[in-house]
């Protein structure tokens, strides 16, 4: 039988990182649904994705640094983080 020696906060950090990665992946995938009629449309779509990408990566960096500095594991903090993770994909809409 395998023993689970992984720290719960490490699992939580992994889930957080995976949500950020999934959000970025979905944002890139959403580029394929934009109707392209000219080069301008491509530039606008990629520019908008670039801005959202930078915004999401900045939030991820701040979040990662916060977790390293303040290893909080109380329920209020976890609930707040899950609310933030829930709202994260809205940055691409």
Tell me whether residue 61 is in a domain.
yes
Neighbours of 37 (CB within 10 A): 7
Q: Is residue 83 part of a domain?
A: yes
Give the torsion through C-alpha atoms of 40, 54, 83, 17, to 10 deg: 120
Domain membership of residue 56 (yes or no) is yes
The answer to the question of residue 2 being in a domain is no
CA pseudo-torsion sign 46, 52, 56, 62 = positive
pLDDT recorded at residue 3: 58
- Per-residue model confidence as pLDDT tens digits over 22-64: 888 887 777 777 788 899 988 988 888 888 888 888 888 888 8
Which pLDDT value is given to residue 4?
66
Residue the block writes with tokens 């950020």: 20
Domain of residue 44: give its range. Answer: 10-92
Residue 20 pLDDT more than 70? yes
0.85 surpassed by pTM: no
Radius of gyration for the alpha carbons in the chain, expressed in angstroms and rounded: 17
| Residue 3 domain flag | no
**Does residue 12 register a pLDDT over 80?**
no
The pLDDT of 8-29, averaged and rounded, is 80
| Tally of domains in the chain | 1
């Amino acid at each position: 039988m395998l023993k689970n020696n992984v720290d719960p906060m490490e699992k939580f950090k992994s889930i957080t990182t995976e949500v950020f990665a999934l959000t970025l992946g979905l944002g890139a995938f959403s580029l394929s649904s934009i109707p392209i009629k000219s080069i301008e449309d491509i530039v606008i779509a990629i520019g908008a994705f670039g801005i959202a990408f930078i915004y999401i990566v900045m939030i991820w960096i701040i979040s990662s640094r916060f977790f390293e500095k303040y290893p909080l594991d109380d329920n209020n903090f976890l609930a707040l983080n899950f609310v933030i993770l829930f709202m994260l994909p809205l940055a691409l809409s």
